[in-house]
Amino acid sequence: MAGHHSEARRWLDRLLSVPDGPSRERVAGLRLSGSYAIWQGDVGPALRLLTEAGRSATRLGDRAEIAYTAHLPGMAALLEGDAARAVALLGEALDRMHAAGARQREVNTRLFLGVALIIAGDLGRARRVLDGCVAWLARRGEVWWRALGLTLIAHVEAAGGRLEQAEAAAREALRSHRRLDSRPGLAFGLETLAALAGQRAAQQERAEQRERAAQHERAAEHERAAELAGAAEELWRAIGAGPESHFPVFRPRRDYLPRARVALDTAAFERAVRAGRDMPLDTALARALEEEARPPEPTPAADRSPLTRRQWEVAELVALGLTNQEIAARLVLSRRTAETHVEHILTRLGFTSRAQIAAWVAERRPAMSPEP
């Protein structure tokens, strides 16, 4: 428990080197030495020791030892990366222990079965196994193994994305191991909390990326609002009226303009309004509808794409596997505009999926060029 695995193995090796026939003590020594070897990742020697322990237990007819040694190959399978085999072996060992009435010896097996189930992705069963084991240990006042169980529960919670619950379990376990001065427990606890901190940082990075994308999209919408307001003002000027005189419901229309001015800053806001005033009507309408302003249809040519230049750019990014949000960020558009481009591409080409767009681009690059 204190972490002196190498020293323990040296003493056990000295004891086991004494010639002796099968005995319960020898079986226990072989099993312990094999267990320490597994903890150190020394799988080959561990399997040899455990095989001998199993044979000796069989010769003695000791059902409890036979059952207990049966779980160690499952631990070895786990360390070798074969989680499915480990689940099967550890489950069989539990059945044998239960039949032998060796409940106290089931603890280690249940904990490692929990590990195997986590790796195998069966989080629901892993949590049930570990919860039952930890509760049983708590009723008996056991500290070290319960703390290990809590650490494993932290891994289950983390795999399910529940970081607060994971950190609470891991910290409770680490406090217990600190009281016991258990070096393996402390190392395992620190490693677990380090992994949880890394997972939380990754979550925060993703949230920040989403927020940056949302900020970019909001800025694009504020700019669009200012441009459309400028285009509308130009139309009203030509008419010689304003929206309030025709439709009183539009009186609060300018509430959004101060927000756009703050979001963009005054200079950028005024540029956007001027751009809207100067837009050709067709361009302003296309901007309002989030469409490309359609140029006159070109003369058909074998090397001419049916897509506009912007649509061709979007199609190429679709072919690279980018999402609409990623396309929007790459081309400095709002996500809704990117989605509209993709919909128009599908309509123009008569397709129903992004995969068809990707195949179409691959077949035509670089022979076809987009419309100007």
DSSP conformational letter for 370: E
Confidence bin at 22 (pLDDT 50/70/90): low
Backbone angles phi, psi at 72, to 5 degrees: -70, -35
Dihedral angle sign, alpha carbons of residues 76, 77, 81, 84: negative
pLDDT, tens digit, 9 for 90 and up, residues 174-211: 999 899 888 778 888 988 998 898 888 888 888 888 88
What confidence score (pLDDT) does residue 154 get? 94
What confidence score (pLDDT) does residue 87 get? 94
Q: Tokens 């010896």 — which residue?
A: 105
Tell the burial category of 358 from Cβ atoms under 10 Å away from its Cβ (0-12, 13-18, 19+): middle
CA distance 318 to 324: 8
Residues 23/60, Cβ–Cβ less than 8 Å: yes
pLDDT, tens digit, 9 for 90 and up, residues 155-178: 999 999 999 999 999 999 999 989
pLDDT, tens digit, 9 for 90 and up, residues 116-156: 999 999 999 999 999 999 999 999 999 988 999 999 999 99
What confidence score (pLDDT) does residue 289 get? 74
Q: Given a cut of 60, is residue 295 above it in pLDDT?
A: no
Average of per-residue pLDDT across 282-307: 61
Residues 16/32, Cβ–Cβ less than 8 Å: no
User: Which is more confident, 296 or 32?
Assistant: 32
What confidence score (pLDDT) does residue 252 get? 46
Averaged pLDDT score across all residues of the chain: 80
CA distance 202 to 208: 10
What confidence score (pLDDT) does residue 298 get? 42
CA distance 315 to 357: 7
Q: Determine the 3-state secondary structure of 284 from DSSP.
A: helix
Average of per-residue pLDDT across 323-338: 84
Distances, alpha carbon 106 to alpha carbons 24, 25, 69, 103, 110, in Å: 19, 20, 11, 5, 6
pTM over 0.75: no
Helix (H) or strand (E) holding 305: strand 304-308
Of the candidate ranges 8-12, 216-220, 331-335, 368-372, the one whose mean pLDDT is the lowest: 368-372
